[in-house]
A and B are shown apart, each in its own frame.
Chain A
Amino acid sequence: MTTTTLDFDTIKTQEYLVNMGPQHPSTHGVLRLVLKLEGEIVHNVDPVVGYIHSGIEKMCESLTYPQIPHLTDRMDYLSAHMNNEAVALCVENALQIEVPDRVKVIRTIMDELQRLASHQLWWCVMGMDMGALTTFFYGLRDRELILDIFEETCGARLTLNYSTPGGVMFDIHPNFQKRVKDFVKYFRAKLPEYNQLLSGNVIFRERTIGIGYLSKEDAIAWGVTGPSGRASGFACDVRKHHPYSAYDRVSFNEILRTEGDTYARYQARVDEMAESLDIIEQLIDNIPQGDHQVKMKGVIKLPEGEYYQRVETARGELGVFIVSDGKKNPYRVKFRSPGFSNLAALNHMSKGAKIADLVAIMSTLDLVIPDIDR
């Protein structure tokens, strides 16, 4: 009688490819990830970008400088105001225009409101990616109040189009200060709720702590900026290190964490919301009087040369690089978008993780696809 033994070395799980996206609930847009899986374990993530490439950089070459901010709204639509401001600052620096203090303060407040709105949306989507669908409505409930303030200020809720070279499009609404103060008071009370619902949850902590580790060296090497980079200990806050607008006159902490895992990235953003509230509180009572715009020439022409300006969007460092040949249109425009660099580190972070981890890691990178594809 022969005994047959199972030779476990010959039994192998086949590696297989799965296309996650371009239509997938957790890629938040049309991002396609080619996953190499072994069972549940992710061996390789290959992001395929370009599904929503709209050629914004190329279009900018045929637009005048006041027109360019309108397109930047459509890049990272959740940081629309920061994008506008980046272009406005770049043009102002090139022309060596000093905008009034009022404009600087208004821009800073709007930046922080925009950052809050973006982080709120990120928070609710993060919960949803983890399977806790209720967070979605908590986040959107609070975000709505900010969007209402935006609507009253400039008529738009998402694509603000508010900062233009030389100032802001309209002066603030008389209600602005009161509404922002009300919101800050309201949201200070609501922020602990966020922690109760998600941060303190056992399942959530189990699923995020120690997952998707990114070391400080790797964060610098991959150019991971924003809260994602700071969670790895990479001090990269442009607001702190290269202040623009009114950031040099407010005191705030740069949220730095050392764990570099999914939970650290999560917590960094939640903490950043509290910091944003601090910044708004410091500025909202001290909006200086003055004009909301500098008188600009009818046709803006930048002197010949290369200009670069960076700002801190909700996702990280956004750089605007303009090459001018002295005409009314730029010769070449390049945006250094935070999402693209952050996405690049995804493969590095999620090797060996499970599919569910990949979704969580991707969620903490806070990807906005038009920001990646431009």
Chain B
Amino acid sequence: MAFDIYDFTSLTSSIHEGLATFLPPVGVLIAEWLLVGISVLLFVAVFGLILVYLERKVCALFQQRLGPMRVGKWGLLQTIADFIKLLMKELITPNKADKFLYNLAPFIVIIVTFMAIAAIPFAKGLQAIDFDIGVLYVSSVSSLGVIGVLLAGWSSNNKYSLIGAMRSGAQIISYELSVGMSLITMIILAGSMQISEIIQAQSTGWFIFTGHIPAVIAFIVFLIAGTAETNRGPFDLAEAESELTAGFHTEYSGIKFAFFFLAEYVNLFIVSAMATVLFLGGWMPFHVGSLDGFNAVMDFIPPIFWFFGKVMFVIFLIMWFKWTFPRLRIDQILTLEWKYLLPVNLLNILLMTLIVLMGWHF
């Protein structure tokens, strides 16, 4: 009855063999790098645009309005128009800014997101690099982004930017812990740090179900900490419009601003994708016990749709609380992390270890 899930490795290996017929091994490697690079670039650009559009529509939904409606059908071309506008805008550099760092910062932020995307599995076999420490790689690479934010705030020579950067430094570094801890909780359950293996372990049931109580706690903590790490929602202190005008990217304009903007949305995607991989089974279809007919129907939906469906669900959750809650204050944000999330997380790891050792998970 098992329906074979399409493995993208057959596609990638056929490309590899095709290239090998007329290129030396080094050439094949370079060509593959280029191909992967171009596809990641394309994905980031297209998905970024889609997310910006989606955010506007979701936000409009919560705010009882229609959102963009004028450019294209249902405003579908709105974000494209916006990006063309951003591309054509003048790039302004403040007079006393540290020019080198000021120009470098947006690139650091955007490069980091590209690096993290390399380890995201879109479907079976559709993953740029399947590290054996994939989870660790994503969490460590995505924490590099704070360097870009700090540099942007420091080099702009603007007090608002500096306050925003300091806030975001304090916030991201603190919440990094919670993200890491909840990842560790799930690694204990999965028994591996390799993303493809983590997903394979969920073929019988997603971790949020099989890991029950500690997995649900870890999922909630991961959502909160992940939102804080992307500087979104109730944790958007780093840009805090009503307090710091635009926080660390106050002085940026045009395409450099667009880099920060795009990076925010791609980070949102990365957090949602990691939540999907670790808790919601990645691209694994939804299966219920021995309901074979139901499972076969679920198998029929291609894994790439499963993956994006789940990611969109998590993204919607994160957008939901962004558009509902007021912003926290800096001391409250740190209290939440150090006094609540971190102890809860540590206990949760203990609980998960106990459950795994005793075999109480499903």
Contacts and interface: CB of A to CB of B under 8 A. Distances in A.
The answer to whether A and B come from one shared complex is yes
Given A203-B234, A354-B330, A138 B64 contact: yes
Among B167, B323, B329, max chain A CB count under 10 A is at: B329
Nearest to B162: A16
Which secondary structure dominates where chain B touches chain A? helix
A39 B167 CA distance: 10
Nearest to A126: B326
B337 interface: no
A355 B242 contact: no
Contact of B241 (A25, A39, A197): A25
B328 interface: yes
A357 B328 CA distance: 10
Given A198-B326, A207-B329, A134 B245 contact: no
A131 B240 contact: yes
B99 interface: no
B241 A356 contact: no
Given A18-B160, A40-B163, A137-B65, A207 B332 contact: yes
Nearest to A356: B329
A356 B327 contact: yes
A131 B163 contact: no
A131 B160 contact: no
A129 B63 CA distance: 16
Contacts of A207: 326, 328-329, 332
A151 to B, nearest CB: 21
Contact of A356 (B65, B159, B240): B240
Given A25-B241, A131-B240, A137-B63, A203 B325 contact: yes
Interface in A111-142: 127-134, 136-138, 141
B243 interface: yes
Interface string A276-302: 000000000000000000000000000
Given A26-B242, A132-B325, A354 B63 contact: no
B328 A134 contact: no
Given A18-B160, A137-B64, A207-B332, A24 B323 contact: no
Contacts of B59: 133
Interface residues of A, number: 31
A330 to B, nearest CB: 40
Contacts of A132: 324-327
A359 interface: yes
Contacts of A136: 63
Contact of B329 (A129, A134, A198, A357): A357
Contacts of B167: 40
Contacts of A141: 64
Contacts of A26: 242-243
B324 A359 contact: no
Contact of B325 (A40, A201, A357): A201
A25 B242 CA distance: 5
A357 B332 CA distance: 12
Interface string A74-103: 000000000000000000000000000000
Interface of B: 59, 62-65, 159-160, 163, 166-167, 234, 236-237, 240-245, 323-332
19 contacts: A25-B245, A130-B242, A130-B327, A131-B234, A131-B236, A132-B324, A132-B325, A134-B62, A134-B63, A136-B63, A137-B63, A203-B234, A203-B326, A206-B328, A207-B326, A207-B332, A356-B329, A359-B242, A359-B243
